[in-house]
A and B are shown apart, each in its own frame.
Chain A
Amino acid sequence: MTLISMKSTIAAAALIASVGTTWADKANDTLSVAFTKELENVDSYFNSSREGVVMQRAVWDGLIYRDPVTNEYKGNLATSWEWIDDTTLELKLREGVKFHNGEDFNADDVVFTVNFVAKEENGVKTQRNVNWMKSAEKVDDYTVRILLKDKFPAAIEFLSGPVSMYPNEYYAEVGPSGMGLKPVGTGPYKVTEVVPGQHFVLEKYENYHDSPKGQPSIGKIDIRTVPDVNTQLAELFSGTLDLIWQVPADQAEKMAAMDGFTVANESTMRVGYLSMDAAGRSSMEPNPFKDAKVRQAVNHAIDRKALVDNLLKGKSVVVNTPCFPSQFGCVTDAAVAYEYDPEKAKALLAEAGYADGFTTEFYAYRDREYAEAIASYLNAVGIRTDFKMLQYSALRDLNMKGEVPLAFLTWGSYSINDASAMVSQFFKHGSLDDARDDQAKADLDIADSSTDPAIRKEHYAKAIARITGEAFWAPMFSYNTNYVFKTDVDYTPTADEVLRFTNMAWK
């Protein structure tokens, strides 16, 4: 034990010493940033992590841009767009834009990119981001049409988010793996160095077009992978890092009390929830979660306000819906809210025939602390938990097989401000659907495919009422992110958990 902590201290010291020589600060116009996780591939279509989204927004551009503050859609690589019919979108492209390698941006690039990513066999990681598109066709050099498979009201939102444009000639030549090692886009920063597992170096793209993202100000961004929060903090103290993010609330609180650092807190779209095996897919026998009373008891057993106030802190809020409240269609009034009432939880368990409680496996993949606190609340009403902490991919596989009776999970909706990105992901009989409820699915089907906002809202509301009334989930809280940076960095984080380097400057 002592040996392990000693080893990590030595490792941390060695790391600090080794990077101490690469001086990074305002004088050198180099901002050093830490990522906790490694990227499997820098190519934004071939990773599914938050860090990948950050890189994507810096290196590439989408056709459309959503202002993260006003939520207004603005043209980026496209200057205007209109619906020809329900499934055809015509876009006029911006002229005079060049990729980092000098290639001109025009309709061929859009057609190539869309046709490549929309093809399932090309293996884009998050199919939902692209599988609503059928193909694209060129009208002239600066006009394209994107054809949809079906009506898809969130198309503009997706085009302004995960769908970014790649250079056709270069991508055809190097493919995803080449793009991952030597990324080329039109974005405000060009990648000058990729050392997998160690760092990425981004440099200001001098010829960046007049984009709503704004012009880059800081000359160089050095992003290093530093997995341990304590090491990140130590490097921040020693001056080898300038900005860290996703800092746990306790540490952020301590940092806020110190001189020389700015601590900013912003909410994120990530929602934490307990998923229960309502459909009885797991091998648990008897399965108490098939009974709505037991699921309601779980909802009543947990003091979510105390979790938010003492553990998550910051801008987190208690969530009653199976979606993030700001998302379109996430009608909070429709949701049944369950107040903290352990006595009522015990009474409901007794009514369901579990007066003495029961024992269940309880899975989690992140935030062990929150999961432990939740387990402790469940234990207090008689639901004994056999706690199991797994890697995300392992838990996801287990969940897809329907082997998980109770789990603490989270979903970040890829920062897409539409309820379909969360509630429809989990309640339409997909492999991750623990409820398999026909009524919820029927309403979601209508809401997802209608282009009339009023109809969409009405049916999302119905689905949310059904899901929360039956207590298929126990929605918990929204997450927040703490950003800690040196006071000479000027940055105001946005509410979508995306670091935007263009919005950063030296003071």
Chain B
Amino acid sequence: MANTTVDPLLEDITGPTPGQMLRRRVFGHQGLIIGAVVVAVLLVIALLAPVLAPHDPYVQNLAMRMKPPVFLGGTWEHPLGTDHLGRDYLSRLIYGARVSLLIGVVAATISGAIGTAMGVAAGYFGGRVDAVVTFLVNVRLAMPVVLVALAVVAILGGSLTVVIVVLGLLLWDRFAVVMRASTRQVRRREYVAAAQAIGASTPRILLTEIMPNVLNNLIVVVTLEMAHAILLEATLSFLGLGVQPPTPSWGLMVSEGKNMMLFEPWLVLIPGAVLFVLVLAINLMGDGLRDVTAPENRS
């Protein structure tokens, strides 16, 4: 107890460390926490699908068709009821999470890689590179995504792989636009000039000086495009051109329930609600990550 006197001046200077500040910002951001928790829970559910699903999502029982969920008078045998072929709805939802998340993550990764490479190159080098990239982005923006996806899938046939690749190759435009703009801002900064002055190579500058400072924008676009890809998959599957039955997909479930929408609306509402929650959670998480990592919030 003797040496507890602290210099009041010193206390002023030390304050919380940057790590503590980051943690404070993360945990103080409600949207980020809610979004991250929901996405994490869905991710765990998707990964543990075989353990969690009460039934095999592919086994049909025609005598047990369209049994209502438990909150509409059904039984706990099928907590969310059964679909038009008597398959357990909860199990199909759980397996459907795998399809949705897989498509979201892989499609966003493919398009992110393409778009970031193009955007950073255009923003950093400018000139002809910029002109070419801008032209490509314009060409891409002139094509309606859903229409092109529909056409390609109609020609190649719908399957999980085709849908992922098509979406991955189509959704890079926003990455390119955002990365180009952020890179242009950053490349005139003093630290980039400093790195150039000490003779750092271009790849080194791009990786260690540019990338870390545009990463926060990248994260937002990744989440946006993930949500976009998930919705597009649902749209394609709804139109019968996405994931093919019997693979469980939320869009396909909405499409299959559509015919009975007037009489058994839960067939559409349940997968629709889950899709809504996932897309909302991803967007909340993206917004939160941007707020937390944005340079202006660091000081």
Contacts of B260 in A (CB 8 A): 250-251
Cα-based distance from A2 to B269 in the complex (angstroms): 9
> Within 8 Å of chain B (Cβ to Cβ): is A230?
yes
B235 lies within 8 A of chain A by Cβ: yes
With an 8 Å Cβ cutoff, the count of chain B residues facing the other chain is 34
8 Å CB contact of B254 from A1, A309, A379? A1
Q: State the CA gap A310–B86 with chains docked (Å).
A: 10
A375 and B245: CB pair below 8 A? yes
Known interface pairs A372-B245, A375-B245; A1-B238 also in contact (CB < 8 Å)? yes
Establish whether residues A307 and B246, one from each chain, have CB atoms under 8 Å apart when the complex forms.
no
Q: Is A194 an interface residue (CB 8 A)?
A: no
B58 in contact with A379 (CB, 8 Å): yes
User: Is A5 in contact with B258, judged by CB distance below 8 angstroms?
Assistant: yes
A2-B276, A5-B268 in contact; A373/B62 too (CB < 8 A)?
Answer: yes
Centre residue among A1, A4, A376 by max chain B CB count within 10 A: A1
Report yes or no: A251 in contact with B262, Cβ–Cβ below 8 A.
yes
B246 proximity list for chain A (CB < 8 A): 372, 375-376, 379, 387
A376 to chain B, nearest CB (A): 5
- Interface residue SS majority, chain A: helix
What residue of chain B has the Cβ atom nearest to residue A233's Cβ?
B262
Report the number of A-B residue pairs with Cβ-Cβ less than 8 Å: 79
Cβ contact within 8 Å between A251 and B276: no
Interface residue? A254 (CB, 8 A): yes
Check B85–A373 contact: CB distance below 8 A: yes
Q: In this assembly, does A389 line the interface, its C-beta being within 8 Å of a C-beta of chain B?
A: yes
Contact with B along A393-430 (1 / 0, CB 8 A): 00000000000000000000000000000000000000
Q: How far is the CB of B149 from chain A (nearest CB, A)?
A: 14
Q: Give the contacting residue for A5; candidates B244, B250, B256, B272; CB below 8 A.
A: B272
B85 x A369 contact (CB < 8 A): yes
Q: Is A229 an interface residue (CB 8 A)?
A: yes
The yes or no answer to B176 lying at the interface (CB within 8 A) is no
Interface positions, chain A 359-377, Cβ under 8 Å from B, are 368-369, 372-373, 375-376
Q: Which A positions have Cβ atoms within 8 angstroms of B?
A: 1-2, 4-5, 229-230, 233-234, 248, 250-251, 254, 303, 306-307, 309-311, 368-369, 372-373, 375-376, 379, 386-389
Supply 17 further A-B pairs (C-beta < 8 A) apart from A1-B234, A230-B262, A379-B58: A1-B231, A1-B235, A1-B238, A230-B258, A230-B259, A248-B259, A251-B259, A251-B262, A254-B263, A307-B62, A372-B85, A372-B245, A373-B85, A376-B58, A376-B60, A376-B85, A387-B245
A-B contact list, 5 entries, CB within 8 Å: A2-B275, A4-B235, A5-B258, A5-B268, A389-B244
